[in-house]
Structure 1
Amino acid sequence: MDANAQSFGRYAGAYAKARPSYPDALFDWIAGEAPATWSVLDVATGSGQAARKLAERFAIVHATDISHEQVSHAVRRPNIQYAVAEAEASALPDASVDAVTVATALHWFEFPRFWAEVRRVSRPGGLFCGWTYGLFDGPAPLMAHLIEPVLAIIDPYWAEGNRLALRRYPRDEIGFPFMEVEAPSLSMTMDWTVAKVLAFIGSWSAMTRARAEGEAARLDAVTDRALAELGDRAVTISMPLTIVAGRIA
């Protein structure tokens, strides 16, 4: 796994509070496409946003993450079994899960090793589904006063993994080895306050890197001006999902 992925653990509490939930329709589709709903492996579970939804549809959810801190902040459910483990080495038995999921983390993995691990732990006919969200769209004042100026500052600080996600996971770049399954076209729509938007963009890895590299004053100036212009009003934002899904032979 890319070393950049481990940086999220330092901000696990803020990450858990700031990250959005994924649409129920995605998890309904995963459960419907899996050959059974006995067990699922959620890789790089973070604070368990996806694991919580999977637990409503699968009997057992195995949820792994490389970060002790992330797992410590994860939501608890009786049928979610958390473990600290690399994406490429889950320690689950062979042929033990009906589906493998990855929410907004696939771009950090060592692909050849990870795909081999997916194949190892999956039952024949199992489903792989990985997804991520893109940069969001919102009302013109929000974009003009906050999002566009922030993106202009932090653009040099995106890691290559982030850029791979923003390119929507080209299959040749990730070396996708499974027979692709057509996934639904979904997006995430949220009604947030401006303060919630600020918390969310503050959780971006490029934002934390930019601050660490001396851009804190510029970023604070942008956010202060945006709050002065916008106030803490409610805004509707949307983010399209990129979904990669495949059938494991």
Structure 2
Amino acid sequence: MTENATSFGANARRYAEGRPGYPGELFDWIVSEAPGTACAIDIATGSGQAALSLAERFTHVFASDISEEQIAHAPIAPNITYAVASAEKTGFASGVADAVTVATALHWFDFPKFWEEVRRICKPGALFCGWTYGLTEAEPEVQRELLDEVLAIADPYWAEGNRLSLRGYQRDEIGFPFEEVTPPAIRMDLDWSVPRLIQMLETWSAVTRARADGHSATLDDLMEDAVRKFGDAPRRVSMPLTIVAGRVA
């Protein structure tokens, strides 16, 4: 996980500005399934999008990330405590969490060690909920002339963790140890301009790697052409969420 955390940390401001938040209905569901609302722990919080939504619903939120740079760009709230720590050794107290969440990061963890850490920090019956984006989709013209072209360049540069995420967190691949709880089907539907969509694409680690491997000029041309053609008009952009959830015994 460290190499990828370093990569995200180096682009922390871009990540904080480019990545969307998550739907309120997801956090409402987490609250409905948690045994209480005293404490939630958000692991690999990144720039804190999920932690902030949890803080609106739980009395206190502890949030950790291995990247100091990411934590530095996380939103401040009086009931959020941030820590720089690995997912497998958070340093949080034992038996405190009503819910543990991981937003778009589970695929970077050492699973056996991480699941033991989840057991340690959770109250009996606490909810674990991890989720990740599916591939971004857009209106047909934008899909064909921007997204598909960027994906064709970026595809060889996805790390294995990214590919695990894109496969939808297969339970045998992540060694999921808890009694599953069926989550709602949630799809993020956004009205974004093409420049805003490009801002998101630039946060993809595969795009960063493709640029470093000599594809910057091609990517720049694609993105500039899309901005010229589509302008600032809002376009429908969708990101289905894959959610894995379970009851921690």
1:4 Cα deviation from its structure 2 partner: 1.8
Q: Which string of whole-angstrom CA distances, capped at 9 and with x for unpartnered residues, describes residues 102-161 of structure 1? A: 000000101000000000110100110000111122111101110000000111000001
C-alpha RMSD over aligned residues = 0.8
Taking structure 1 as the reference length, what is the TM-score of the superposition? Answer: 0.98
Distance 1:96 1:27 in 2: 19
2:138 is paired with a residue whose SS is coil
Distance 1:34 1:216 in 2: 45
Pair 1:158 & 2:144 matched: no
Alignment of structure 1 residues 1-249 onto 2, 5 Å: 1-249=1-249
Name the aligned partner's letter for residue 228 of structure 2: A
**Structure 2: segments with no counterpart, 5+ residues:** none
Would you identify which runs of 4 or more consecutive aligned residues in structure 1 move more than 6 Å?
A: none
Q: Which string of whole-angstrom CA distances, capped at 9 and with x for unpartnered residues, describes residues 157-211 of structure 1? A: 0000110110000000000000000000001111111110010001100000100
Contact 1:107 1:165 survives alignment (8 Å): yes
Amino-acid identity (%):
58
Contact 1:103 1:131 survives alignment (8 Å): yes
1:2 Cα deviation from its structure 2 partner: 4.8
Aligned residue pair count:
249
**Structure 1: segments with no counterpart, 5+ residues:** none
Taking structure 2 as the reference length, what is the TM-score of the superposition? Answer: 0.98
User: Which shifted more, 23-32 or 217-226?
Assistant: 217-226
2:213 is paired with a residue whose SS is helix
Name the aligned partner's letter for residue 124 of structure 2: P
Distance 1:225 1:103 in 2: 32
1:86 Cα deviation from its structure 2 partner: 0.2
1:93 Cα deviation from its structure 2 partner: 1.5
Contact 1:141 1:230 survives alignment (8 Å): no
Name the aligned partner's letter for residue 107 of structure 2: H
Name the aligned partner's letter for residue 66 of structure 2: I
1:40 is paired with a residue whose SS is strand
